[in-house]
Amino acid sequence: MRYWIGCLTAALLLLNLATAQHGSIQQKSEQKATQQKSSQQKQKQPSAQQQRSKKPAAKQTAGTKSQPKFAPPTLPPLPDPNKVVATVNGEPIRAGELMRATYDWYGAEAIEDMILVRIIEQEARKQKISVKPEEVEARYKQQIQNAEANLPPGMSLDDFLRRNRFPPSRLYTRVRAQLLAEKLAEKRINLDNFIEYSQIVIRIQGNNPEEQEKNAPAAEAKAREAYQKISEGLDFAEAAKQYSEDPFTKDRGGKMNWQYKRFIVPDILQRLEKLKPGQVSEPFRTLGGYMIVRLERTGSQAKGEELQQIRQQALQMELGEYIRQLQSRAKITNTIVKPLTPEQMMGGPQRPTPRPPSARATPPQQPPRQQSPSKQPPPEQKPEQKPEPPKPEQPPAQPEKKP
């Protein structure tokens, strides 16, 4: 913080110096133009002002030179294995022990981080994309400011970062990789994947399918009446306030916020993609009623702050998917931990989880009954044959699977 305040102060002093020098030059030109011999005292005053302005200038230059330049954090050299890094009741813990423990305990996490950074750097070189040191420095300092705002009482910034396994060198590397990945993903952004639309929703009343089918014609008639009014010139927003039964959008004229196409219900998206901005669809049936939609704008039509927000959302949507694709295409060998397969990166295939003890106890009872199907069980064993529900108990193992 002191460094940034010092830089700001130096900039202000330099600005004052430049202003003073510019004023003195103007005074000299005026004095030469008038050629007044009696203005010797006035001519001395600018020279005195120049001397005054030069004195601070020397201090400013000296002060500016003394400010340290930003040095990107790097990995430190390996310590001497015999160096004592901690003691417990006088018993030393040496750097060699620490390095072996770190390699074994945290090596998998570190190597996967390094692999991901290397994948992004290789793709950036391939596409001739780079980031300026100033960009990385600005983002890094912003991250540091965020960390400083969350410091626990009495804890230093360095301790806070290291306890969260993000020392400065790792944080800087992650920031640089993030900026490269964002620039790579920006090429894939399609702002028109975001759309803004308005809707009129007419619910079909009824507590069961039979009642809903009986009431469907009334809902359709109401939707068509609203559509007719819009066709005759009624503003869509006014029609939504009069006819729509959606409590979330009715009061604001049926207007929805910007929506990402991937998250829009397919039936609604299908109608919207057939419209141009300003066009209105005919009423169509949905799962719970009838709808009329109007396409307002696509993402590329947004402006100003709104456009920046959409671009940022689109970038976040694209970034994760793009990185997974890069990982799945890369040829990776890892001797510390087995690399994830492309299917695992994308969330599958699912692997079975251990069943609870109560579920494990029932299957062993099935084989004795299935091994002797030819023998007719006596009447006393009939209650034991009813528990053929163990077969329904086996399928539940599938829903319990987790990726």
pLDDT higher than 90, residue 142:
yes
| pLDDT band, residue 282 (cuts 50/70/90) | very high
Q: Report how far apart, in Å, the C-alpha atoms of 351 and of each of 328, 347, 392 are.
A: 19, 11, 20
Q: What are the tens digits of pLDDT across the range 226-244?
A: 999 999 999 999 999 999 9
Q: What is the pLDDT of residue 28?
A: 43
pLDDT higher than 80, residue 105:
yes
Q: Copy the structure tokens of residue 83.
A: 């160096």
Pairing of strands 259-260, 284-285: unpaired
Q: What is the pLDDT of residue 219?
A: 94
Q: What is the pLDDT of residue 316?
A: 86
Q: At residue 141, what are phi and psi to the nearest 5 degrees?
A: -65, -35
Q: Which residue has the higher pLDDT, 255 or 363?
A: 255
Q: What is the pLDDT of residue 288?
A: 85
pTM equals 0.57
- Using a pLDDT cut of 90, give the percent of the chain over it: 52
Q: What is the pLDDT of residue 66?
A: 57
For the chain, the structural domain boundaries read 2-29+44-65, 74-187+303-347, 192-302
Query: Per CATH, which fold does 192-302 belong to?
Result: Chitinase A; domain 3 (3.10.50)
Q: What is the pLDDT of residue 65?
A: 54
Q: What is the pLDDT of residue 342?
A: 55
Average pLDDT over the chain reads: 77
Q: What is the pLDDT of residue 340?
A: 64
Q: 15-24 long-range contacts, Cβ below 8 Å, gap at least 24?
A: 16/56, 17/53, 17/56, 17/57, 17/60, 20/49, 20/53, 21/50, 21/53, 23/49, 24/49, 24/50, 24/53
Q: Which residue has the higher pLDDT, 337 or 379?
A: 337
Q: Which residue has the higher pLDDT, 56 or 104?
A: 104
